[in-house]
Amino acid sequence: MTAINVVVNGKSYTREVEPRLLLVDFIRDTLSLTGTNIACDTSQCGACTIHLDGQAVKSCTVLAVQADGSTLTTIEGLANGKLHPMQQAFWDQHGLQCGYCTPGMIMAAAKLVEENPEITEAEIRHGLEGNLCRCTGYQNIVAAVAQAAKA
């Protein structure tokens, strides 16, 4: 077991973890923050996307011990008392169907817009290539990201 210290959604945690524990499993099983989804376990779908030290990462390919000393934001921490503009835009634009990809998609999209508030439709589509949705066809997702960029 290895002790790690992380700040998740503004709260400090110190936990003993197995060195091979994935960050997504640490978030879900150790901290009971189940908004981050597990789907492929191979970094192909993006359902597990979180912000790690300000960068969007797929938490299924990061070990919890690698996050020691880091700051994490999950879908639960994105809102601050009210819906984050990206969450609101997904609601307004019907940017979800089954909802499985939605937390990772929102986390990736929020980082895209933060880095490029004047983002174009082509840049949105390119920036979300690593996040797969099997339900929506992406049109409403793209509309949601564009709405949030304007907000």
- pLDDT of the chain, 151 residues: tens digit per residue: 999 999 999 999 999 999 999 999 999 999 999 999 998 878 889 999 999 999 999 999 999 999 999 999 999 999 878 999 999 999 999 998 888 899 999 999 999 999 999 999 999 999 999 898 888 778 999 999 999 999 8
Q: Which domains does the chain have, with CATH numbers?
A: 2-76 (3.10.20.30), 85-150 (1.10.150.120)
Structure tokens at 20: 């091979």
pLDDT confidence of residue 68: 98
> Residue 132 to residues 29, 33, 98, 138: CA-CA distances in angstroms?
24, 22, 13, 9
Single-letter amino acid, residue 75: I
CA–CA dist 84, 135 (Å, integer): 23
CB 84 within 8 A of CB 113: no
Structure tokens at 49: 């996307």
pLDDT confidence of residue 25: 97
pLDDT confidence of residue 151: 85
Rg (CA), the chain: 15
- Phi, psi at 131, each rounded to 5°: -120, 115
CB 49 within 8 A of CB 37: no
pLDDT confidence of residue 19: 97
DSSP label of 101: S
pTM (two decimals): 0.94
pLDDT confidence of residue 79: 87
